[in-house]
Chain A
Amino acid sequence: MAARKATNDGDDDKARNLEQLLATKEIVISCGSGGVGKTTTAAAAAAMAATHLGGKVLVLTVDPARRLANALGLEQFGNTETRIPSAAFAACGIEPRGELWAAMLDTKQSWDDLVRRHAPDPKTRDAILSNKLYQNISGRFVQSHDYIAMERLYEIHTAGNYDLIVVDTPPTRNAIDFLEAPGRMADFFSSRLLRWLTAPAKSRVMNFASKPFYTVADRVLGTQFLQDIAEFFGLFQQMAPGFVERAEAVTRVLSDRRTTFVVVSTLESAPLREAEYFIEALDQRKLHLGALVLNKVLPAYLRRTATTPVARALCENGDQIAAKLPGFDDRAAVARVLHTVGESFLNYQVVAKREAEQRAELARNPDVVATVPFFDSDIHDLAGLMRLGEQIWR
């Protein structure tokens, strides 16, 4: 990739498949829009890495809907990293070379940990943890997922317990939101607003420029609420140096060459558009796009144009064909079946062709593109994950 930062050790060997890609990376970030199989892909890639590459592999999911727990058959695993028992692998007839671990992001817990780490003293720490606004921000509001996900990734990575960490990104409005989260957090701490809010109330009122704002804010939200906000941010600001430094470190990890991004999509138009947008965003930020995984792709035979007239013949001339078939008495029923079969093919062909067209329109492709066919059944266990993994691995 031309835009990628030059590295000084001169390895320009391109990865040809996911196995080669993951063998050289320490962090893999799986991203894409909702419903495309992002979580499952992340889990499958991690399971394959644990099986074939060895070492300790962690899959970190940040989705509040707890889908990965579902897919791994682990009903509850929270912030603590939990090992997938080797018995689960043995049940699929696999003897993994390494270990597979999983953890799910508990936003509230992660925020609390962060406060404990950065608070200057126990008094401030307790004041923040018991502040009503803080409890609301940390527990209920999804925007905070973005930042916390990246923060937790950083924490786990720097603890040095894993050879590979595969991260499933939170479902954000735009997939790039979480890329910008650390920067936003740093900006927030240096913003004028925060300085204004945390200034002593007296000088705030005296400050002519902010007076109209204060009047409106006071009438709309009430003085008490403003004071609550001010108190909260006053406390919070004491942690600013730690937070800003941390946000910068997180950004560095994301752009490190040991980190790669895997974009997941289906061939439907909306997810694909988002994937394309995300690929652009990675490029602009000089982040490494490692692979594109296309899920739920219809089989190629559906696109064959030579088959179209044959399917049409079944639809239109089912009666005549049925009449010529020895050993089938119920001609009407045969004609009906032939008609249904022909029509179904033509229906699916419309979708398959539409998808192929959209695939061709993708402007930029990474070195590794993996396509995963439609599976007959859903993936809800390790065996299913391994089956999916086989499709994307080589």
Chain B
Amino acid sequence: MTSLLDRQLLFVTGKGGVGKTAIAAGLALLAAEQGMRTLVCEVDAKGNLADFFETGPTAFKPRQLQRDLWAMSMDTEESLKEYLSLQLKLPLLSRIGPLARTFEFVANAAPGVKEILTVGKLAWEVRERHYDLVVVDAVASGHVIGQLTAPESINELVQVGLVRNQTQWMADILNDPRRTGVVIVSAPEEMPVNETIELADRLERETRIDLAAVVVNRVLPELFSGGEEDLFESLREPGPLAQVSKHAGGDVEPVFDAAELAVKLRRSRAVHLATLRENLPPDLPMLYVPYLFTRTHGMRATRQVAEHLAEELGL
């Protein structure tokens, strides 16, 4: 199986709220720091990829953030303009502006057109080898299948014309497991785990795209090992607790309560981790990223995510 960073196109998806963008940003940073020319593209125009790199807003034109790292955000109208000027070479370039606006209407109404403009642009970057790796902060798990199968949908709907002729090479890139992979970001909670299992299954049944890895984000640390938990419980008895408070210079009860909360949270999540592992193919790589007890979610957090991913990938 091709390892994660050996591929050229990675679609990072997952249920809303699991930290999809954080993982996409971390993966891109890691790849860039490994010396790969990396493009990270935000598909959902929420504009918060920029926050993860502490940079200004990203645009359709890729912007270099640091050595070997570029960021962009998808804009289907810009993608269409680029496509028209590259592929058609019509003597109409000056009129493409208003045309594209009209086209935006068609794109909204005709199924698959927006999706193909998104996937097409990304696959094109891969085909032209402008980058070693393109990391896509893709749409959430409920929508991603429609995006990934856009070339096939268009192929079904459009019988002739340039777009149809373009779908084959796109599908070839998307369906090649050596080049393209999907990364599902999950979290050790019930709903994200269910959605991950469901999506893994749908990818297998409804697409020919390879699932490259599952990243489990926000894994809480195991607090105690061996007999430490028993020891913790006996220290929590009123007598010892009063003694500890006396020598620690203040009431330690909230500190112990917090530890109990941490243990319970960790335990309830462990069940879901087990469910996830059991219901995914045994040879599917799973990467674990711990919950980050940091103050911000900016570059500092992105760097920590990258470091944890590096560790999990054995880099």
Q: Which residues of A contact B (CB under 8 A)?
A: 33-36, 63-65, 67, 70, 132-133, 136-137, 140-143, 171, 173-174, 188, 191, 193, 212-213, 215-225, 228-229, 233, 266, 268-271, 299, 301-302, 304, 306-307, 309-311, 313-314, 317, 320-321, 324-328, 330, 333-334, 336-338, 340-342, 344-345, 347-351, 354, 374, 376-378, 380
A313 to B228, CA, bound (A): 19
Residue B235 lies at the interface, judged by CB distance under 8 Å to chain A: yes
Say if the beta carbon of B95 comes within 8 Å of chain A. Answer: yes
A149 to chain B, nearest CB (A): 14
Interface 9-mer from B2-10, B65-73, B252-260, B302-310: B252-260
Q: Is the CB of B17 within 8 A of A212?
A: no
B44 contacts the other chain (CB 8 A) = yes
B106 within 8 A of A: yes
A180 to chain B, nearest CB (A): 13
- Quick check: A35 and B231 within 8 Å, CB to CB? no
Q: A133-B157, A342-B255 are in contact. Are A324 and B231 (CB under 8 A)?
A: no
Q: What distance in Å separates the Cβ of B186 from its nearest Cβ neighbour in chain A?
A: 11
Q: How far is the CA of A269 from the CA of B164 in the complex (A)?
A: 43
Q: Is the CB of B198 within 8 A of A327?
A: no
Does A307 contact B190, Cβ atoms closer than 8 Å?
Answer: no
Q: A225-B157, A225-B161, A351-B293 are in contact. Are A307 and B243 (CB under 8 A)?
A: no
**Given the complex, which residues of A lie within 8 Å of B223, measured CB to CB?**
340-341, 344
Tally chain B residues at the interface, Cβ within 8 Å: 79
CB pair B235 A313 closer than 8 Å: no
The answer on a CB contact under 8 Å between B17 and A35 is: yes
Q: Give the distance in Å from the alpha carbon of A337 to the alpha carbon of B257 in the complex.
A: 14
Considering the complex, give the chain B residue whose CB is closest to the CB of A354.
Answer: B295
In the assembled complex, how far is the CB of residue A71 from the closest CB belonging to chain B, in whole angstroms? 9
Known A171-B16, A350-B294, A354-B295: A301·B257 in contact at CB below 8 Å? yes
A171-B140, A171-B142, A321-B244 known; A299+B261 contact, CB < 8 A: yes
Are A341 and B259 within 8 A (Cβ)? yes
In whole angstroms, how far apart are the Cα atoms of A33 and B194 in the complex?
18
List, sorted by A's number, 26 A–B pairs whose CB atoms are closer than 8 Å: A34-B140, A35-B15, A64-B142, A133-B110, A133-B111, A142-B142, A142-B143, A193-B102, A212-B99, A216-B103, A221-B163, A222-B159, A225-B159, A270-B17, A270-B297, A301-B257, A301-B258, A324-B243, A328-B231, A334-B231, A337-B228, A337-B235, A347-B293, A348-B261, A376-B268, A380-B190
Q: A217-B106, A229-B110 are in contact. Are A337 and B224 (CB under 8 A)?
A: yes
Once the chains bind, are A222 and B161 in contact (CB under 8 Å)?
A: yes
B295 contact set on A, CB distance < 8 A: 350, 354
Shortest C-beta distance, A224 to chain B (Å), equals 5
CA distance A133 to B158 in the complex (A): 10
C-alpha gap A212/B315 in the complex (Å): 54
Provide the residues of chain B in CB contact with A219, threshold 8 Å. 88, 90, 161-162
Given A35-B192, A216-B90, A326-B243, is A314 in contact with B161 using a C-beta cutoff of 8 Å? no
Known: A33-B16, A171-B140, A328-B240. A317 touches B248 (CB 8 A): yes
Task: Knowing that A64-B142, A302-B254 touch, tell me 14 more A-B residue pairs with CB under 8 angstroms.
Answer: A65-B191, A70-B191, A140-B146, A173-B44, A217-B106, A221-B161, A222-B163, A271-B17, A311-B252, A324-B243, A327-B240, A337-B228, A337-B231, A378-B189
What separation, in Å, do the CA atoms of A221 and B156 have in the docked complex?
12
The distance from the CB of B114 to the nearest CB of chain A, in whole angstroms, is 9
Question: Please, how many angstroms separate the alpha-carbon atoms of A141 and B143 in the complex?
Answer: 8
Whether A310 touches B255, Cβ cut-off 8 Å, given contacts A224-B160, A380-B190, is: yes
Q: Cβ of B92 and Cβ of A311 under 8 Å apart?
A: no
Q: CB-CB < 8 A to A173: which residues of B? A: 44-46
Asked whether B240 lies within 8 Å of A325 as measured between CB atoms, the reply is: yes
Instruction: Collect the chain B residues with CB atoms within 8 Å of residue A33's CB.
Output: 16-17
Contacts A213-B102, A222-B163, A376-B264: A338 and B158 contacting too (C-beta < 8 A)? no
**Does B250 interact with chain A (Cβ within 8 Å)?**
yes
Q: Chain B at the A interface: mostly helix, strand, loop or mixed?
A: helix
Shortest CB distance A65–B (Å): 5
Say yes or no: A320 contacts B158, CB within 8 Å.
no
Known: A269-B297, A313-B248. A344 touches B111 (CB 8 A): no
Min CB distance A372 to B, Å, is 15
Within 8 A of A (CB), among B195-250: 195, 198, 223-224, 227-228, 231-232, 234-235, 240, 243-245, 247-250
Q: Is B231 within 8 A of A220, CB to CB?
A: no
Whether, in the assembled complex, B175 has its beta carbon less than 8 Å from a beta carbon of chain A, the answer is: no
Q: Which B residues between 114 and 151 are near A, CB-CB below 8 angstroms? A: 140-143, 146
The answer to whether A191 and B105 touch across the interface, beta carbons within 8 angstroms, is: yes
CB–CB B243/A325 < 8 A: yes
- A215 vs B261: C-alpha distance in the bound complex, in angstroms? 66
Q: Answer yes or no: B280 CB below 8 A from chain A CBs.
A: no
Smallest CB gap from B80: residue in A: A220
Question: A65, B195: Cβ atoms under 8 Å?
Answer: yes
The answer to whether B258 touches A350 (Cβ under 8 A) is no
Query: What B residues does A224 contact at CB under 8 A?
Result: 158-161
- Return the contact of B244 from the options A216, A268, A307, A338 (Cβ within 8 A): A338
CB distance from A188 to the nearest CB of B (A): 7
B163 touches A325 (CB 8 A): no
Q: Which residues of B contact A222 (CB under 8 A)?
A: 158-164
Chain A residues, CB < 8 A from B255: 307, 310-311, 314, 341-342, 345
The answer to whether B248 touches A310, judged by C-beta atoms less than 8 angstroms apart, is yes
